[in-house]
Amino acid sequence: MKPFCLGVILLLLAGCTPQYKGTPPEPVRAWPTRQMDNPPVAARYPLGNDDQKAFETYVIDVNIYAYYVYKYARDLNEYVAARGWHPPRVAPLCEEFETPDLHPIPDRITLDRNSRSAEQISQDIANQFRQILENYRSDRKAFRHNFSEHEKTCLN
């Protein structure tokens, strides 16, 4: 019983050490972001029935602001993701996906007129299949590249 009591007393004494009084934690800094600018307001533009230039300027400003909001949201999401927080999953907002020009899929194989023997016909078919395979691989590479570039433009 004495060794048990001695062990408990030693544990209690070891747990009662004074706490470290080092430097206090730094206060939380504000995010290195800024508030968004105000959107264009139609009242600031002299929009009349015959003032086409003012209307075009207003449409251009609205489109520029929409792109600004898109970039702001994307950069803010990247900022918080770098700090371990993941923005909520919503439907992704992306720029338009441009499909690269792809080779057409042949609907038949046309043999060379000079192919007479079985070896020549076999070689001709092999060459055409090799060309189809090369086209497929280059199309796949172009498509993957375009799709990865497209995904970089997405907010989520």
Assigned domain for 12 exists: no
Claim to verify: residue 101 and residue 122 sit in the same structural domain: yes
- Alpha-carbon distance of 140 to 147, in angstroms, equals 10
Claim to verify: residue 72 and residue 41 sit in the same structural domain: yes
Claim to verify: residue 98 and residue 143 sit in the same structural domain: yes
> What pLDDT score was predicted for residue 113?
81
Per 3-state DSSP, the chain is made up of helix, strand and coil in percentages (nearest 5) of 55, 0, 45
Residue-wise pLDDT for 72-121, tens only, equals 887 888 888 888 887 766 666 777 777 888 888 888 878 778 878 888 88
Assigned domain for 1 exists: no
Instruction: Return the structure tokens found at 66.
Output: 């929409």
| Positive or negative: CA dihedral 138, 139, 144, 145 | positive
Assigned domain for 15 exists: no
Assigned domain for 13 exists: no
Nearest to 47 by CA among 35, 56, 60, 39: 56
Q: Which of 44, 66, 87 is the last residue of a domain?
A: 87
Claim to verify: residue 80 and residue 128 sit in the same structural domain: no
Domain span including residue 46:
34-87
Contact 47, 55 (CB under 8 A): yes
**Within a 10 A sphere around the Cβ of 12, how many other Cβ atoms?**
9
pTM of the complete model: 0.44
Claim to verify: residue 147 and residue 104 sit in the same structural domain: yes
Claim to verify: residue 100 and residue 82 sit in the same structural domain: no
Mean pLDDT of 23-27: 58
